[in-house]
Amino acid sequence: MKRALAAVALTALAVVLIRNSHSGDFTTILTRSESLSDAPPLRQSEFSPPAFNESTYIFNAVHNQLRHVGNAMAPNGMTFTPGFVPPGTVLYHGMNRKELPQDLDWFAFDPEYSFTMCCNIGHAFGNPHITTAQVVEPLKIVYIDGASASLSSDLGTMDSQGFLLDDPIDTWNDYTEFARGDRLCRLFKENGFKLDGFVRMNTGFELLMCNMTNPKVEYVMNNAIAVSEEEGTAGLMKRSSFEVGQTFLSRDRFGNLLVRPSREFNFFDYDWVKSMERTHSSAGEERVELDYRGLVTIYGMEGSRDIDFPKNVSQHRLLTGSEALRQELRSQLWEADKHTRTYDPYRINWRTVTDNLVYKMAPILAQIKNGLGQLEAGTSSLNDTSKHLGGITSMLRLRFEGDEELANSTRHDVDAQVERCAKTYASDFHKYDVTPFEEKVRFAIRLVSTAVCSVIMETADWANKVQTRVGNVSEELPSKLHADVSDLISDLNWSYFVSCTHRCKDNEVCYLPTWPHGGREPHIPAEPLQCRTIEDLRKSRGL
């Protein structure tokens, strides 16, 4: 009884939060008082329930974990997730000497990244080498989301690290990577969090190792790279064009790292951007395994609400974050460590839960928006639009109809359909032994799936009624649904909508310009990415 009451109270709260935070008019969500009543009660004391807008950010943080496109869209990450790099993983390090790296330094997961560092944009002088290493015991890491290794500008990509460390704000963007890495390693270790390093993203994912002579990693190869002195027909770099001692990277007056834009886009650049293509979406950087039992996100934290984040997610900054928020973030991280010290292959993969919703619903939402837009513009008839939208939603409608609707075809309980749909796609039936961090994630996913299912099941019901001519349909409904679905798609801001719409040809790359190869500013994708050949990229160097 007490559990039920707590759940009802939370439902009411969620409904109020949706109403207050959502610009759309999700009438059915607002009137459904029992919407979360069967959901497991939340441990309210452990986190405050995120609002709808916060839930969309949390949902995306989970959905985009270790995926390039989503992190480029929200480059100022707010989320830290413990995980590990499994044994057998091969790692690379590019350098301008033969000696193996020591102490704090970086591994790349892609050799193309290391090649860039030793031999293309990096130190193309000295005695370039790429060393290859292999993980022999799991490396414990913390993944910092966003474009967390893009040291380019004052956009805010280093905010979460600077804020966590309590560095002076005007130094957050400084190119002081060794010092920053060192402070990160020390802060975690001093608080009992035993880790080997951090995973971050720029053009691909990298592994910041607290100590490169870590016995969990064995060096297995060390290759000298012969960089051509002559510019070949393939447009390879010319070594002599680099002044000795000067790197391709330079710094601006703030000490920020810049990329000299003068050089032509070459095959090495192409190999590099091609190597990160596999991490754009789907599996993401699958050489890292995350443990969502310890996912700590600033979104929804009590103290984060004073920040007043703007609607544009790429403008979320932590410059005004309070000391209380920093302490909350830190204590949650040390708590997350305790939940993730043992390996549990049977933990819930929350990213997969979000995938179930996104990959099923994103194409349907886009078609609803498009179809209702055409109806409104008069380029498609009511008959045709309702037939198409009824068709693409019919399986969902039939799956979520109840016994009463089956027995009586004039009965339509859309609220109950939304409820069944949302629970299914949020995997929200059982109370497994989840951590408070997972409770927060589950709550956010449930709120987002309720909003998505609501628009879709209402459209399905409308289309079905028009087609069967059973039941009353208001003439204003299509334009209301069109407004709802448009608002929703914009609020969801799913990376699905800006990813390449098809697999590129063999001589093309699904191009996502990212620091450092893509120029000084991190590029924030807002339109679907395009397949580009190297010739295309040569022409548009400096994007």
Ligand X SMILES: *[C@@H]1O[C@H](CO)[C@@H](O)[C@H](O)[C@H]1NC(C)=O
27 touches ligand X by CB under 6 A: no
In 109-213, DSSP assigns E strands to 129-135, 139-144, 197-202, 204-209
Site string for ligand X, 262-301 (x = CB under 6 A): -------------------------------------x--
Q: Which region, judged by CB under 6 A, interacts with ligand X, from 82-90, 304-312, 340-348, 390-398?
A: 304-312
Q: CA-to-CA distance for 543 and 532, rounded, in angstroms? A: 13
| Residue number with CB closer to ligand X (15 or 51) | 51
Number of residues engaging ligand X in binding (CB under 6 A):
29
472 touches ligand X by CB under 6 A: yes
Tell me the CA distances in angstroms from 368 to 286, 364, 376, 536, one per residue in order. 33, 6, 12, 34
Cβ contacts of 327 within 8 Å, gap of 6 or more: none
| Residue number with CB closer to ligand X (216 or 239) | 216
Angle between helices 436-468 and 2-21 (to 10 degrees): 70
Q: Which region, judged by CB under 6 A, interacts with ligand X, from 50-58, 226-234, 269-277, 326-334?
A: 50-58
Please calculate the CA angle 353-22-49 and round it to the nearest 5 degrees: 55
For ligand X, which residue of 73, 325, 453, 500 counts as binding (CB under 6 A)?
A: 73
Q: Which region, judged by CB under 6 A, interacts with ligand X, from 31-39, 107-115, 123-131, 407-415?
A: 407-415
Task: Tell me the closest approach of the beta carbon of residue 314 to ligand X, in angstroms.
Answer: 4
CA 319 centroid distance within chain? 21
State residue 335 phi and psi, 5-degree precision.
-70, -40
| Residue number with CB closer to ligand X (128 or 181) | 181
Q: CA-to-CA distance for 372 and 216, rounded, in angstroms? A: 57
Q: Which region, judged by CB under 6 A, interacts with ligand X, from 197-205, 287-295, 312-320, 392-400?
A: 312-320
**Bridge partners, 92 (sequence order):** 108, 132
211 touches ligand X by CB under 6 A: yes
| Residue number with CB closer to ligand X (59 or 115) | 59
Closest CA to 495 of 88, 187, 59, 115: 59
Is-contact 302 85, C-beta < 8 A?
Answer: no
20 touches ligand X by CB under 6 A: yes
Task: Tell me the closest approach of the beta carbon of residue 411 to ligand X, in angstroms.
Answer: 4
For ligand X, which residue of 313, 368, 452, 481 counts as binding (CB under 6 A)?
A: 313
| Residue number with CB closer to ligand X (181 or 525) | 525
411 touches ligand X by CB under 6 A: yes
H helix intervals, 134-266: 159-165, 177-190
320 touches ligand X by CB under 6 A: no
User: Which letter, b or e, does each residue of 84-118 get, where b requires 16 or more Cβ atoms within 10 Å of its Cβ?
Assistant: bbeeebebbbbbbeeeebeebbbbbbbbbbbbbbb
Task: Tell me the closest approach of the beta carbon of residue 298 to ligand X, in angstroms.
Answer: 9
Is-contact 155 254, C-beta < 8 A?
Answer: no
Task: Tell me the closest approach of the beta carbon of residue 145 to ligand X, in angstroms.
Answer: 15
493 touches ligand X by CB under 6 A: yes
Task: Tell me the closest approach of the beta carbon of residue 493 to ligand X, in angstroms.
Answer: 4
Long-range contacts of 175-180 (CB under 8 A, 24+ apart): 175/151, 175/251, 175/255, 175/256, 175/257, 176/255, 177/151, 178/104
Is-contact 205 199, C-beta < 8 A?
Answer: yes
For ligand X, which residue of 315, 320, 331, 540 counts as binding (CB under 6 A)?
A: 315
Q: Which region, judged by CB under 6 A, interacts with ligand X, from 111-119, 275-283, 311-319, 339-347?
A: 311-319
490 touches ligand X by CB under 6 A: yes
Q: HSE on the CB side for 208, CA within 13 Å?
A: 19
| Residue number with CB closer to ligand X (41 or 471) | 471
Provide DSSP, 287-354. TSEE-GGG-EESTT-GGGGGS---SSGGG---TT--HHHHHHHHHHHHHHHHHTSS--TTS--HHHHH
3-state percent helix, strand, coil for the chain, nearest multiple of 5:
45, 10, 45
Strand 139-144 relative to strand 197-202, pairing: parallel
383 touches ligand X by CB under 6 A: yes
Ranges within 164-183 binding ligand X (CB under 6 A):
none
Long-range contacts of 317-325 (CB under 8 A, 24+ apart): 317/76, 317/156, 317/159, 318/76, 318/78, 318/156, 318/159, 318/160, 318/162, 318/163, 319/156, 319/159, 319/169, 321/163, 325/298, 325/301
Task: Tell me the closest approach of the beta carbon of residue 182 to ligand X, in angstroms.
Answer: 9
| Residue number with CB closer to ligand X (290 or 492) | 492
Q: Which region, judged by CB under 6 A, interacts with ligand X, from 130-138, 167-175, 226-234, 522-530?
A: 522-530
Q: CA-to-CA distance for 414 and 401, rounded, in angstroms? A: 8
For ligand X, which residue of 11, 53, 81, 116 counts as binding (CB under 6 A)?
A: 53
Q: Which two tokens stand for residue 535?
A: 């010739």
For ligand X, which residue of 251, 311, 341, 503 counts as binding (CB under 6 A)?
A: 311
Task: Tell me the closest approach of the beta carbon of residue 387 to ligand X, in angstroms.
Answer: 6
| Residue number with CB closer to ligand X (6 or 483) | 483
Q: Which region, judged by CB under 6 A, interacts with ligand X, from 188-196, 222-230, 259-267, 520-528?
A: 520-528
213 touches ligand X by CB under 6 A: yes
Q: CA-to-CA distance for 506 and 512, rounded, in angstroms? A: 17
Q: Which region, judged by CB under 6 A, interacts with ligand X, from 111-119, 246-254, 261-269, 521-529?
A: 521-529
For ligand X, which residue of 410, 430, 433, 502 counts as binding (CB under 6 A)?
A: 410
Task: Tell me the closest approach of the beta carbon of residue 209 to ligand X, in angstroms.
Answer: 10
Residue ranges that bind ligand X, judged by CB under 6 A: 20-21, 51, 53-54, 73, 103, 211, 213, 299, 308-309, 311-315, 383, 408, 410-411, 472, 474, 490, 493, 498, 524-526
